[in-house]
Structure 1
Amino acid sequence: MLIVADENIPLLDSFFGDIGEIRRVSGRTMSADDVRDADILLVRSVTRVGRELLEGSRVRFVGTATIGTDHVDREWLERNGISFSAAPGCNANSVAEYVLSILSLHAEQRGLEDWTRISVGIVGVGNVGGEIAHKLDRLGFDIRLCDPPRAEREEEGGPQFVSLAEALECDVVTLHTPLTKEQPYSTYHMVGERELDALTSDQLLINAGRGEVVDTVALQARLEQGDAPLVALDVWEQEPRISPDLVDQLWLATPHVAGYSLEGKVQGTEMIYQALSRFLGLPVRKKAGQFLPEPALSKVSFTSAADEDDAVRIALRVCYDPRRDDTRLRAAMGGSADERAAAFDRLRRDYPVRRECSSLKVQLKGTSKSLQDSFRAIGFKLKI
């Protein structure tokens, strides 16, 4: 059995080595010739999967180690008897920690000692948005949830949803919708000229969902104005050929790595391994925890002298500081369009190991219960 897989999916040998022969290829340049003799295809979001790639091949199972599926023509796969599985929610916690780190930086820049004074509008409350909402609610933030499909589908007694316009009134607006174009509540260019004009210089817009949800032309025009909001982008229209001019205009720019914690990536691999095992009628014997290495930093300690807000900021940024990814991306914006695109892909391919907060044990000596609660809400392991 031949398994063709994106070379950037982690732990391919560990999970799939005893199922079949593995052929690693570049996900960005994967072609019909690469997969013609494959039985199994494993991809990430950079590979378009449909008739053009698979017609005439013998592929009978496609797995994507991602939460999104807009790169896969699922209707074509179903018509052609090809099974499909994704990894919904695999990196939700990774993206949530990305957003928390940005909120921490933003609060510090605004001179807020208590970061929970920031109101946050969460647009798209699926696996990722829901995880962010859960953490922020436990931390005591004022949050507004915007998800029209859920609001229409769910009855009273569930979460309280607001309109997009109401979410855009918050200090920070963070986008986590799928990309849809023809369904009700289309998200393509959902944030356009009108929505951007409603934002002020006191606000921050984060997009760690899908690049095409924000109209890039309208965004660049808005950022040229004196009262423009701060903007942090992790996802981009026309990746990997992103605009260096747009990067220059942003408060924070990262190369589509919000979900790139080691835990998130390995969980994605585990989920498609489980789905493939079920498809083949094989027992599911492997779990991600078997393969996670010892973290480079395993423990930090705070005493009763620690300032609560400082302690949270320090611990968060020990695990992940988005400014490092911002610096790497800006440094990659030289050269021709082809060179920049290749550099963008290299940043993702060669991404350094990033561990989630759950990998770090926080020792608290004589600290308050509120600080303990904050660390628990974020997801740290505590030793008291």
Structure 2
Amino acid sequence: MKIYYDENMPYAAEFFGEFGTLTAFNGRELSADTLIDAEVLLVRSITQVNENLLKNSPNIKFVGTATIGVDHIDQAYLSNNQITFSSAPGCNAISVAEYVISTLVILAERYCFSVFDKTVGIVGAGNTGSRLSEKLTALGIQHKLYDPILAATGEDSRVFSSFEDILQCDIISLHVPKTTTGLYPTHHMFDQTVLSSLTEDQILINACRGEVIDNQALLLLKQQGMKTKLVLDVWENEPNIAEALIPFCEISTAHIAGYSLEGKARGTEMLYLALCELLNKKPNQSLEGLLPKSTISQVELHGRLNDVILNQLVKMVYDVRRDDGIFRQQVYINGFDYIRKTYPARREFSATKVLINDEQSKTQVHELGFS
């Protein structure tokens, strides 16, 4: 079996090597001519999978994307050509949620506020928004959820807020897919009108899709003196982003919020399991057996969880300032995709075991995600 996979998929060889011949590719440079003999195609979000890409691939039988989003996949074309498709919903949701937690402790330190005193508005209550909600609940941080599609089903017992209520929150964190149709399209959800309503005391975080915010409107407002604090991990027109926006960001990164080792590898594993199901084969590989031990595998804390301890604990595992620094230093020289390709290893909270002598804090820390 001929299997082609994105070079940025960790453990692809370990998971898929048993099925046949593996060929790695650059996700943004993949062409139809490369895939002439392909039977399995495994991509990430930067590869557009459609008729144009697969027109020379008569033997293709399985396409998988190791990502939550699927807006880069022409699912209708795959279905019409009897090509099995699988994605990896929720694979990096924990990673993105922990990116947001790291930004919060960094900005709290920078601007001398307590994260425990803030209200967070979560736009999108799917996999990622839910993981963030769970971590905020563990910390006792007030937050509101906005998801009109989930709310309309009547099957979700959570309390949902209006968009207007979300816009009043101290921190607004975006976790929706990119959509352009339907009752609630997310493309430019934060347009000039919405952005203009935000105040200098608020923080806007985008770690979902760049097109959810009108970047040109945002840049214009910033140039005109808009004081709202920005955290941007995703950008319109990646990799050709509006570089003029970078100096206006508190934290800016190269679409790596979901790039923890666990998050990326989880996506690989999910596609492996899907292919095993298609081939009616019993899985004999697991992520647990492949992940290395964390360099900081255990830590002991004393005292009740507060801003200082939370700050130290989160930064010990993941300090987002590292990624912000890499981005600002390299994006102008090496480019957006280079930063993603050479992204240094990052672990999730769960890779570190925390021993703590306060029972209430122990519960909080473990529900936050630490072992």
TM-score (structure 2 length as normaliser): 0.97
Instruction: Name 2:349's counterpart in structure 1.
Output: 357
Equivalent-residue separation in structure 2 for 1:287 and 1:378 (angstroms)? 24
Instruction: Name 1:108's counterpart in structure 2.
Output: 109
Equivalent-residue separation in structure 2 for 1:264 and 1:115 (angstroms)? 25
How far has the Cα of 1:227 moved from its partner?
4.2
Q: Does 1:374 align with 2:361?
A: no
How far has the Cα of 1:243 moved from its partner?
2.0
1:203-214 correspondence runs (5 A): 203-214=202-213
Q: How many aligned positions are there?
A: 370
- Give percent identity, aligned residues only: 43
Equivalent-residue separation in structure 2 for 1:334 and 1:12 (angstroms)? 31
Equivalent-residue separation in structure 2 for 1:35 and 1:183 (angstroms)? 34
User: Alignment partner of 2:37: what SS?
Assistant: coil
1:150-169 correspondence runs (5 A): 150-155=150-155, 158-169=157-168
CA-to-partner distance for each residue in 1:221-252, whole Å, 9 max, x for gaps? 12123342001000110111112211111111
1:229-378 correspondence runs (5 A): 229-304=228-303, 308-335=306-333, 343-364=335-356, 367-378=357-368
Query: Given residue 117 of structure 2, which amino acid in structure 1 is its aligned partner?
Result: R
How far has the Cα of 1:307 moved from its partner?
6.7
Equivalent-residue separation in structure 2 for 1:288 and 1:222 (angstroms)? 45
Instruction: Name 1:123's counterpart in structure 2.
Output: 123
Equivalent-residue separation in structure 1 for 2:22 and 2:314 (angstroms)? 37
Instruction: Name 1:91's counterpart in structure 2.
Output: 92
Equivalent-residue separation in structure 1 for 2:154 and 2:219 (angstroms)? 36
CA-to-partner distance for each residue in 1:105-140, whole Å, 9 max, x for gaps? 12223322x421110000011000011111112221
Query: Given residue 35 of structure 1, which amino acid in structure 2 is its aligned partner?
Result: L
Query: Given residue 107 of structure 1, which amino acid in structure 2 is its aligned partner?
Result: A
The 1:313/1:185 distance shift into structure 2, 3 A limit, reads: same
Instruction: Name 2:192's counterpart in structure 1.
Output: 193
User: Alignment partner of 1:17: what SS?
Assistant: helix
CA-to-partner distance for each residue in 1:40-71, whole Å, 9 max, x for gaps? 00000000001010123121100110011000
- Work out whether residues 190 and 214 of structure 1, in 8 Å CA contact, stay in contact via their aligned partners in 2: yes
- Work out whether residues 7 and 24 of structure 1, in 8 Å CA contact, stay in contact via their aligned partners in 2: yes
Equivalent-residue separation in structure 2 for 1:163 and 1:246 (angstroms)? 29
Equivalent-residue separation in structure 2 for 1:77 and 1:291 (angstroms)? 31
Residue range with higher mean Cα deviation, 290-299 or 168-177: 290-299
How far has the Cα of 1:162 moved from its partner?
1.4
- Work out whether residues 355 and 362 of structure 2, in 8 Å CA contact, stay in contact via their aligned partners in 1: no
- Work out whether residues 35 and 56 of structure 2, in 8 Å CA contact, stay in contact via their aligned partners in 1: no
Equivalent-residue separation in structure 1 for 2:117 and 2:110 (angstroms)? 13
Equivalent-residue separation in structure 1 for 2:261 and 2:283 (angstroms)? 21
Equivalent-residue separation in structure 2 for 1:264 and 1:307 (angstroms)? 26
CA-to-partner distance for each residue in 1:67-111, whole Å, 9 max, x for gaps? 110000001110111100000001111111111111111222332
In structure 1, the gaps of 5 or more residues are none
User: Alignment partner of 2:143: what SS?
Assistant: strand
Equivalent-residue separation in structure 1 for 2:332 and 2:9 (angstroms)? 28
Equivalent-residue separation in structure 2 for 1:144 and 1:94 (angstroms)? 20
Equivalent-residue separation in structure 2 for 1:318 and 1:166 (angstroms)? 34
Equivalent-residue separation in structure 1 for 2:106 and 2:219 (angstroms)? 23
Instruction: Name 1:171's counterpart in structure 2.
Output: 170
Query: Given residue 103 of structure 1, which amino acid in structure 2 is its aligned partner?
Result: L
- Work out whether residues 25 and 34 of structure 1, in 8 Å CA contact, stay in contact via their aligned partners in 2: no
TM-score (structure 1 length as normaliser): 0.93
Structure 1 runs (4+) greater than 6 angstroms displaced: none
How far has the Cα of 1:198 moved from its partner?
1.1
- Work out whether residues 31 and 53 of structure 1, in 8 Å CA contact, stay in contact via their aligned partners in 2: yes
Equivalent-residue separation in structure 2 for 1:358 and 1:104 (angstroms)? 18
